[in-house]
Structure 1
Amino acid sequence: MKIGCVILAAGSASRFGQLKQLYDVDGRTLLNRVVDCYVNSSLSSICVVLGADAVKIAEYLPEGIEAVICEDWHKGMTASLSCGLVALLKKSSQTEIISHVLIGLGDHLGITEKSLANLVDAAQHNPSKIIATDYNKILGAPAIFPFDYIAPLMTLSATQNKGAQAYIMSHLQHVVKVSLPEAQFDIDTPKDLLAWKNSLTEI
């Protein structure tokens, strides 16, 4: 099983109040802290989709990580997702052909290497199914899709602002859920960041 990865990090972070992707979290940028978890998860290839402030953010990405700049980032997550998938398929055709794609979010600080390992394990046992993260009665990213689902994901309507999540919800009969309570910590506001930091000190 060869799993490629698209990490979505193209938003303007208006609710955070500053450039969220480059916010310092214990000596690393917020985005790099997330990306490092994916890098350490034995994925075939990784593309990080950038939009707002893309050039500045790309300078800080770990060596070897491909930055994909989505010019239409302001049109929403579906535009960023399509852009990332196109880049991943192109990269895959030049190196090793992927069988699945893992879609992640660049502000998902709660996700760990163990979280991703649980998703990959579910995919290995259910290779024809969509593997979706289940948290707080929400199904969404990170999520793993078999190759056959890539084309439909690339043509999602721009009105489906939740990107792959809308697709998951409309194909529940093909979904395997993986409970990852830690996925609740995606960072949209400073309050979210504080909640994540507090969770690390809880016994």
Structure 2
Amino acid sequence: MAETAGLLLAAGAGRRFGGPKALAVLDGEPFVVRALRVLTDAGCAPVRVVLGASAEEVRALLPDSEAAVVAEDWESGLGASLRAGLRALETTAAEAAVVHLVDLPGVSAGVVHRVADKADEDTVARAAYDGVPGHPVVLGRRWWPEIAAGTSGDKGARDWLKGRPELRLVECGDLGTGHDVDRREDLPG
């Protein structure tokens, strides 16, 4: 894997969940710490964590507070977080970024590693679970300005990814579920 950064989007307020999902705890570990560990265990470096809701509380959980990037306009949606994160990575030497969401406890380091394998500046790859596209998504550096310019609302890169001939789906259903946690009832039991 070329130098591939990790970009963890953890800014949301978790309205349906009842609070910021970054602070939710599963098996004694906060979601933000769990997701950060997944990225680092997969070999992503550097890793940036985009914060918004309860930013200082979430930042206090990070082993390295310098990894935090605050999306000032986080309330406008996922697009703002993705934009802030990609801009923060521009000063690094990373050729690609693994974009991971904080509310995916079923995604393992193995999933991240598989999707990011052979990543370079031209990569556009996405995990799939039983053929259904999901996260994480790997975006080569070549695409960052275009993606950042086109993000809005809660869509992130969804519209940008639609119909891209470069997009490579990487089946990961044997390694994880890719299910997100929207409500407390969605937490794995």
Q: TM-score, normalised by structure 2?
A: 0.89
2:48 matched residue in structure 1: 47
Is structure 2 residue 1 aligned with structure 1 residue 4? no
More helix by share: 1
- The number of residue pairs the alignment matches comes to 186
2:155 matched residue in structure 1: 162
Distance 1:109 1:30 in 2: 7
1:183 shift after superposition: 4.1
Distance 1:144 1:22 in 2: 25
Please tell me the root mean square deviation across aligned C-alpha atoms, in Å.
1.9
List alignment gaps of at least 5 residues for structure 1. 198-203
Q: Which portions of structure 1, spanning 4 or more consecutive aligned residues, are displaced by more than 3 angstroms? A: 126-129
1:151 shift after superposition: 0.8
Distance 2:98 2:66 in 1: 15
Deviations 1:90-117 (A, max 9, x none): 2x0xxxx111111110111011011111
Distance 1:164 1:152 in 2: 10
Matches within 5 A, 1:1-203: 1-63=2-64, 66-90=67-91, 92=92, 97-121=93-117, 123-124=118-119, 128-135=122-129, 138-159=132-153, 161-171=154-164, 173-181=165-173, 182-193=176-187, 196-197=188-189
Identity across the alignment (%): 26
The answer to whether the 8 Å contact 2:121/2:141 transfers is: no
Range 108-117 or range 16-25, more displaced:
16-25
- Structure showing greater radius of gyration is 1
Q: TM-score, normalised by structure 1?
A: 0.84
The change in CA–CA distance for 1:117 and 1:65 in structure 2 (over 3 A counts) is: farther
List alignment gaps of at least 5 residues for structure 2. none
What code does the residue aligned with 2:103 have?
D
